[in-house]
Amino acid sequence: MRYKINFYLDKSKAKSETNVLLNFGYNGKRIRILTAIKINPKDWDKKRQTLKTQLNDYTRTNKYLNDLKKLANDLFIDCINQKFVPEHDEFKQMLLNAIKKSYSKPENSTFYDYFKQFVEYQKKETKERTILKYNTFIRHIKRFENKTKYKVSFDTINDEFYYQFKDYFFDTLGQLNSTVERYLQNLKTFMKWSFDKGLHTNLEYCKFKFNFQIESTIIYLTKDEREKQFNFDLTDNKRLDAVRDIFILGCYTGLRFSDLELLKTANIINDSITFTSYKSLKGQMIPLNPFSKFIIDKYINETGFLPIISNQKLNEYLKELGKLVGINTPTQKIQFLRKKRIETLSPKYEFMTTHTARRTFGILYLQDGGRIELLQRLFAHSKIQTTMKYLGITGTDLKNDMKKVFANAGKNTKLHSIEMIEVAKNLLKNNIQLSIISYSTGLSIAEIESISK
């Protein structure tokens, strides 16, 4: 028996979102089933009957539609194999029951029950610190529900939830944009996981956009401050002496605290630190310099390796150390709560954390003439844009720096052209905008495009 399954939009000429319907036709009639998907007609690929591939989360939406199509097809084939052709109303009810069964949850399970399952699953895949963040997030969601009386379930994660979610974290708790964005990412990660498990069909969360500015103040030590810290006499304070050495080792290697605390004597091979990154799980090799070697030799000879304490305590002691050493340059930190700009002016030591060491290494490395593509490797970043963002480097910074570097280069010479072509090739590899490359090298956009072919 011939039959046809396809999808179409309820209102194909709508200017806003409309329902996607499943159409099943046989014996000259058709049935229509409302799916869980709503989209804007401009985002619909009519020919393929899918969401357009350039959109966020198109894979999940299209997978859901494909699964529905397969479910309807398998159900009808089963009927045919049993030599049974149901009436259209009868088959529609059979299909609705099958969809409900496939995507329903056990009656007594809740959003929070499944979040516990999610956390247990994540324990096998992610780090302990990430698990702690998930547990903090879900505690906040429970408090949100108690405070607002908004019932949280898979079905209620919608626009109204998102509005109340933002109001609660911004207005009730006074959380900064960076924190609220992190909680939103936690929610999306869980909703994606539970969708893939067939626990719900709600894709409303895919539309949640965080359009607020994230604070980007980069705190680092200058060369003078780094050396002042390195040379400060702490003979009579063993606690702060150890804190200083851990921090300084980070300043001269760029290692994260999570990697520093795991270093062993066996990681020191041929005047290099060789290890597997705790965060990225990538193998890394960091060459030692006289300063980092001094610190390592001190502890290999004395105790076997660094006297690590908790990250929280270390951050507390770093502020005490910075104050003692005199890292007190007035420093402005800019943060945002919604669109409100919050400026804090304090001595620099009040902003010092273990992460300050890694940023200090990166910025001073570049200031001393180090190449950003090598810094990318030292940081184990998969994309150079990540390194640039981490250190607060913008397209304008590149533009100004390149202009300065090549200000005195010979113009209109064969050698100059060859050199600029090589520079352009390297910048193209790192996905720098054509306009910036053109400004920096003096090559035209057309010349740069011909190089990229």
- Tell me the per-residue pLDDT of 255-272, one tens digit each, with 9 for 90 and over: 999 899 888 888 999 899
Among candidate residues 345, 377, 409, the one where a domain is terminated: 377
Same domain, 441 and 371: no
Pair 182, 83 in one domain:
no
Q: Residue 66 is part of which domain span?
A: 3-103
**Judgement on whether residues 288 and 398 belong to the same structural domain of the protein:** no
Q: Which two tokens stand for residue 249?
A: 């080792």
Q: Is residue 232 part of a domain?
A: yes
Average pLDDT, the chain: 85
**pLDDT, greater one: 427 or 139:** 139
What does the pLDDT average to over 46-51?
84
Rounded distance between C-alpha atoms, residue 111 and residue 113, angstroms: 6
- pLDDT of 46 > 50? The answer is yes
> What confidence score (pLDDT) does residue 126 get?
81
Window from 132-146, 150-164, 321-335, 391-405 with minimum mean pLDDT: 391-405
Could you tell me if 231 and 373 lie in one domain? yes
In angstroms, how far is CA 86 from the centroid of its own chain? 50
**Is the CB of residue 154 less than 8 Å from the CB of residue 105?**
yes
Considering the domain architecture, whether residues 242 and 259 belong to the same structural domain is answered as yes
Same domain for 427 and 364, yes or no, is no
Q: What amino acid occupies position 409?
A: A
- Do 119 and 264 reside in the same domain of the chain? no
pLDDT, greater one: 297 or 428: 297
- Angle at which helix 354-367 crosses helix 238-253, to 10 degrees, equals 40
Dig out the tokens for 233 from the structure: 């006499």
Does 245 share its domain with 343?
Answer: yes
**64-114 pLDDT per residue, tens:** 888 888 988 998 888 888 888 888 888 888 888 888 777 655 544 689 999
- Given a cut of 60, whether residue 40 has pLDDT beyond it is yes
> Is residue 416 over pLDDT 60?
no
218 domain-assigned? no
pLDDT, residue 414, reads 46
Q: State the Cα–Cα distance between residues 311 and 358, nearest whole angstrom.
A: 14
Q: What is the mean pLDDT of residues 422-449?
A: 72
Give the end of a domain, one of 62, 78, 103: 103
Q: Residue 321 and residue 24: Cα distance in Å, rounded? A: 72
Q: What is the pLDDT of residues 376-412, one digit of tens each?
A: 889 988 888 888 877 776 555 666 665 665 555 544 4
pLDDT for 213 equals 84
Query: Do 227 and 269 have their domain in common?
Result: yes
Domain end point (choices 103, 127, 156): 103
The whole-number pLDDT of residue 54 equals 63
Q: Parallel, antiparallel, or unpaired: how do β-strands 283-287 and 272-276 relate? A: antiparallel
Q: Answer yes or no: pTM beyond 0.75.
A: no
Q: What is d(CA 175, CA 337) in angstroms, rounded to the nearest whole number? A: 7
Residue 277 reports pLDDT greater than 50 = yes
Per-residue pLDDT at 300: 75
| Structure confidence by residue, pLDDT tens digits, 309-321 | 888 899 999 999 9
Cα–Cα distance, 67 to 334 (Å, whole number): 47
- 230 and 269 part of one domain: yes
In this predicted structure, what is the pLDDT of residue 129?
81
Helix (H) or strand (E) holding 9: strand 3-9
Percent of the chain with pLDDT over 70: 87
pLDDT digits (tens, 9 = 90+) for 210-224: 888 886 688 999 999
Q: Is residue 384 part of a domain?
A: no
Within 168-310, residue ranges assigned H as helices are 177-196, 223-231, 238-253, 257-260, 290-302
Based on the domain organization, do 255 and 353 belong to the same domain? yes
What does the pLDDT average to over 167-178? Answer: 94
- What is the band of 36 on the pLDDT scale with cuts at 50, 70, 90? confident
